[in-house]
């Protein structure tokens, strides 16, 4: 059943993004930024982890999770070490995902010729 919930919630998040692009005439960059902010907001109200318990990968795979990780790392670091911990916490939680994205972008650019 958890697979069904993950599929439905992940699909719902993607469907909301598509509706925003098609009908609200938002660009994909605007939708991405909005979803990161929503994920951070849900984390600040301590609801993102509860959603994760219910829906699993459905909420942890989309871009909203990046906002959640940024906010979670910042608040956790601030609790442990103050202002410096706030800045350090941002990088501790998100560094693996950012590094993977950069490495894959370089690898893919070696095989495909970018247009534009």
Let me know if 35 is exposed, middle or buried by CB neighbors in 10 A (0-12, 13-18, 19+): buried
Q: Is residue 39 within 8 Å of residue 90, measured between CB atoms?
A: no
The pLDDT, as a whole number, for residue 116 is: 61
How sure is the predictor about 22, in pLDDT bands with cuts at 50, 70 and 90? very high
Q: Is residue 10 within 8 Å of residue 54, measured between CB atoms?
A: no
Tell me the average pLDDT across 10-36: 93
Chain mean pLDDT for the chain: 88
């Amino acid at each position: 059943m958890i697979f069904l919930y993950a599929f439905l919630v992940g699909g719902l998040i993607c469907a909301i993004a598509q509706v925003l692009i098609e009908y609200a005439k938002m660009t994909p960059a605007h939708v991405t930024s909005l979803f990161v902010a929503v994920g951070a907001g849900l984390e600040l109200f301590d609801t993102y982890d509860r959603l994760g318990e219910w829906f699993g990968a459905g909420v942890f795979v989309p871009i909203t999770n990046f906002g959640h990780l940024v906010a979670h790392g910042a608040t956790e670091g601030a609790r442990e070490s103050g202002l410096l911990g706030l800045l350090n916490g941002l990088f501790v939680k998100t560094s693996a995902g950012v590094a993977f994205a950069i490495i894959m972008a370089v690898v893919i650019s070696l095989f495909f010729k970018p247009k534009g």
